[in-house]
Structure 1
Amino acid sequence: MIAFIGATDSKYIVSEVLNEQGETFDDLSDQMIRLEDLQTLMLSKEYTRAIVDLEFLGSEPQKIAALFRKLREVSPADYIFIAKGYALDSVLIQSLRNAGFLKYVSARTIGTEKKQLLECLEGKNNALELDRLQQVQYIGETDQKPESNGFKTVAFCGCQPRIGTTTQAVQFAKYLQFSGLSVCYIEANENHHVEEIPSLYEIQYHDKALSMIRFQDLDLYYNVFKIAEIYRKQYDVYVFDFGVFPQNNLLPFLEKNMKVVVSGSKPWELDNTMQVLKELQDKEIQYVFSFTEKAIREELKKSMKDKRENTFFSEYSPNMFALSGADKTLHAGLLEHLNYTGGKHPRKRRRFRK
């Protein structure tokens, strides 16, 4: 029996490798509120192996190492550590190695990451080999995640259903395309809107194996569990649509480079907005208000207090796949916050298609 604790990106890699081996795993990530919870979770079943994403555990190396030394005494599980962003001579890794933990997945490319994980699952202790190959570049004991190929990820969610989240996500993706970047839209919710498009409209391309359609020049993916394969496509920006604000598991939303919450200005919509604001008050979030009268926008922006500079308003977009020139200020503001610094630079154009 295998346990997994980690971030969404790592989970997809683990899922792919274990599926290929015909094995399943328990994802304990959502149940771990504090670091100390890990011991209770690992002892709740007779786990024989555990795959742990070190980045998910925080930035207290001595505390983390002490916990696993204690776990080794009471749990028979064999531990495999996903250590992207850590040098093998860092404090945390050295402490774990000194305690006898010798299985690490440190690669930054998906293919090599899967290869290392498979080798560890087969029982290979690879710490010394990784030392020789020097496959990890030191980043330090932080929670910073290295960006592969310079790409960016953007997450959209709405304070409630039917607030315009998908429209805003697609519109921003179209704006990024218009600005000269390669971009895709990923439906990371259970609405299944993308899957319905081929039955309603003529599409340009359908890759059923990858769960992708191309419609009006935009690549739309409808199976987020294939994210590892999608990342191999090397778009400049990946736009995720999480649907309604994910109250149960915020991590997939929060781990994206830029987070956008779509809100409304009606009394019942503002109530939901305030609840989300309270939950995300210490996070860097961009807020987009849909369906808001121009007469109340300035007052509403003032009410956002320290979030004023992160507050935007959208105009009516009857066709989400046709870029609205009326939202130029909104999209340019979001792009500025995204701070894209990849290999390409957005090109300037003078006109928007209406």
Structure 2
Amino acid sequence: MEPGAARQNREPGKGIGEMIVFVGNEEKGFFIRDVAKKQNLRAAFIRPSLHIKDQVGEILACQQCKYLVYDIEQYTDTGDVIAEEIRRIRMANNAMPVIYASGYNQQSDIVMFLKYKGIRNFIFSAYLADKKEDLEKCMLGTAELPEEDPGLEIQDKKRENENSLQKTIGIAGVIPRMGTTTQSVQFVKYLLFKGYKACYIEMNEHGWVEELADAYTATTNDPEIGKVTYQEVDLFYKLEKLPDVLKLGYDYYVYDYGVFSERGFNKVSFLEKDLQIFLVGTKPGEFMKTYELIENNFYNNVIYIFNFCREDKEEHEDTYELMGEKRNVTYFAPDCRDPFIFSNAPLYEQILPLKTAAGMERRNKRRGIFKRKKQMSKKKEQDIF
């Protein structure tokens, strides 16, 4: 076998025939073997890569490839880049692309881009038997393909990103009980303090918002959309209602992702956020996980907040040294006993410096008046000449 070629599983005595190739980690794609055997195909695997372009040569070198199953979680490329590359490969070798997107939201940007490029076969299931069934349906052409054309929706998303004030903040913890929920609420309180309309979204399976509603009578609960309001903070807990929440006109959405190593952690959704924050710690177990994050190439643009650390300048300086080149995106959170009492404006000002919403509004009004004055002056000049 030539160097770089896909590793293949072939039964002794059988000649070269059509095959199904899993592009990604073999430990994740092992389920294709059973499906391949059932369909009298060969199974092959192409090693994972952070960039799909680095795999193109190996993919195109696979002779008689009939199906290509892509694990999109391996990539750090943007959704439009991945979708375009998969489209080009399909045009080159005519193999059917199947997207392994176990645990992905079907409305996530990358899925929408893939659909937009005409790629409609997906494996969203989390359980082994269901993965095999989904793959077989894709291969046999019996999968329920999405009927909607995502083109308009993608254009709307682009327009929203260009014209809307809406910003997204994703917060995740390195281990359980790192204070992720507290910091998420604190960010909302900071934004409210600045005069912006902001809300909290429970992007995990902990059920904290509903527990809060059960524990305190001072909450208001709208079960239809999954909204609890407490101490002036709007908290949303029904992920299936997220598209409706995003239409409510908040300036900022703060997503609490829980623990990054949990099964339900949506890495792609987290990486799509405008501001990505990890809650980390200095204790032995905490820092080992923190170091894993620092070395992980997926998380190159994140901010690190050390929680539950002593107010000790010497200890902070030691931590900065350990963080190395991440020093400039490293912060220390103060002690916060009640998430609904805003505790430390300077910390959030450093991470997300904002003018007050009222000040921004006054500035925009001044710009509007100035623009109208310029238009009026221009009209007068036209009248004169």
TM-score range, shorter chain: 0.5 to 0.7
Return the alpha-carbon distance in structure 1 between the equivalents of residues 119 and 299 of structure 2.
Answer: 37
- Whether 1:289 aligns to 2:299 is no
Task: Give the CA deviation at 1:203.
Answer: 3.4
C-alpha separation in 1, matches of 2:325 and 2:169: 22
Correspondence 1:155-170 to 2 at 5 A? 155-170=170-185
1:27-49, Cα deviation, whole Å (9 max, x unpaired): xxxx998757894238xxxxxxx
Assess, with a 3 A threshold, how the Cα gap between structure 1 residues 200 and 282 changes in structure 2: closer, same or farther: closer
Q: In 2 relative to 1, CA 333–229 (structure 1 residues): closer, same or farther, beyond 3 Å?
A: same
**Per-residue CA shift, 1:157-189, capped at 9, x if unaligned?**
000001111111111110111011110000001
The one-letter code of the counterpart of 2:306 is F
Cross-structure match for 1:321: 340
Question: What is the TM-score when the length of structure 1 is the normalising length?
Answer: 0.61
**Where do 5+ consecutive residues of structure 2 fail to align?**
1-47, 60-65, 71-76, 99-106, 111-115, 121-144, 363-385
Deviation at 1:146, TM superposition (A): 3.0
TM-superposed CA distance for 1:301, in Å, is 1.6
Q: Which residue identity does 1:278 align to in structure 2?
A: E
Paired residue for 1:67, among 80, 89, 99? 89
**Residue number in structure 2 paired with 1:258:** 275
Quote how far apart the aligned CAs of 1:149 are: 1.8
2:295 alignment partner in structure 1: 278
User: Matches of residues 185-224 of structure 1 in structure 2 within 5 Å?
Assistant: 185-224=200-239
- What amino acid is aligned across from residue 56 of structure 1 in structure 2? G
TM-score by structure 2 length?
0.56
The AA in structure 1 aligned to 2:69 is L
Which residue of the other structure, out of 147, 150, 153, is the alignment partner of 2:168?
153
Q: Report the counterpart of residue 111 of structure 1 in structure 2.
A: none
Aligned length: 258
For the 8 Å contact 2:195–2:357, the answer to whether it is kept is no
Query: In 1, are the aligned partners of 2:213 and 2:219 still within 8 Å (CA)?
Result: no
Partners of 2:282 and 2:340 in 1: CA distance: 24
Aligned to 2:68: 40
1:331 is the counterpart of 2:348 = yes
Q: Which residue of 2 aligns with 1:299?
A: 318
CA contact (8 A) 2:90 2:97 kept: no
Calculate percent identity across the aligned residue pairs: 28
Return closer, same or farther for 1:68/1:203 CA change in 2, 3 Å cut-off: farther
User: Does the CA contact (< 8 Å) of 1:150 and 1:341 recur in 2?
Assistant: no
Q: Which residue pairs with 1:182 in the alignment?
A: 197
- Contact 2:179–2:279 (8 Å) recurs in 1: yes
CA contact (8 A) 1:150 1:342 kept: no
Once the two structures are TM-superposed, the CA of residue 266 in structure 1 deviates from its matched residue by 1.2
Return the alpha-carbon distance in structure 1 between the equivalents of residues 80 and 246 of structure 2.
Answer: 24
Secondary structure in structure 1 of the residue aligned to 2:360: coil
Structure 1 residues without counterparts, runs of 5 or longer: 1-30, 43-53, 77-81, 86-92, 104-119, 348-354
Q: Distance in 1 between matches of 2:346 and 2:221?
A: 33
Structure 1 counterpart of 2:137 = none
Give the corresponding residue for 1:88: none
Name the CA shift for 1:259/1:75 in 2 (closer, same or farther; >3 Å).
closer
Alpha-carbon distance change, 136 to 195 in structure 1, aligned in 2, over 3 angstroms: closer
Note if contact 1:259-1:284 (Cα within 8 Å) is conserved in structure 2: yes
Secondary structure of the structure 2 residue equivalent to 1:150? coil
The residue identity in structure 1 corresponding to 2:350 is G
Instruction: Determine the structure 1 residue equivalent to 2:79.
Output: 56
Which residues in structure 2 correspond to 1:74-85 (within 5 Å)?
none
**Equivalences for residues 103-118 of structure 1 within 5 A:** none
Question: Contact 1:287–1:310 at 8 Å: present in 2 too?
Answer: yes
| 8 Å CA contact 1:57, 1:64 repeated in 2 | no
**Aligned-partner Cα distance in 1 for 2:171–2:273:** 10
Where do residues 81-160 of structure 1 align in structure 2 (5 Å cutoff)? 146-147=161-162, 149-160=164-175
After superposition, the Cα gap between the structure-2 partners of 1:192 and 1:68, relative to the gap in structure 1 and judged at 3 Å, is same
Distance 1:189 1:123 in 2: 28
Relative distance call for 1:179 and 1:162 in structure 2 (3 A) is same
Which has the bigger relative contact order, CA under 8 A and spacing at least 6?
A: 1
Shift of the 341–246 alpha-carbon distance from structure 1 to 2, 3 Å rule, reads farther
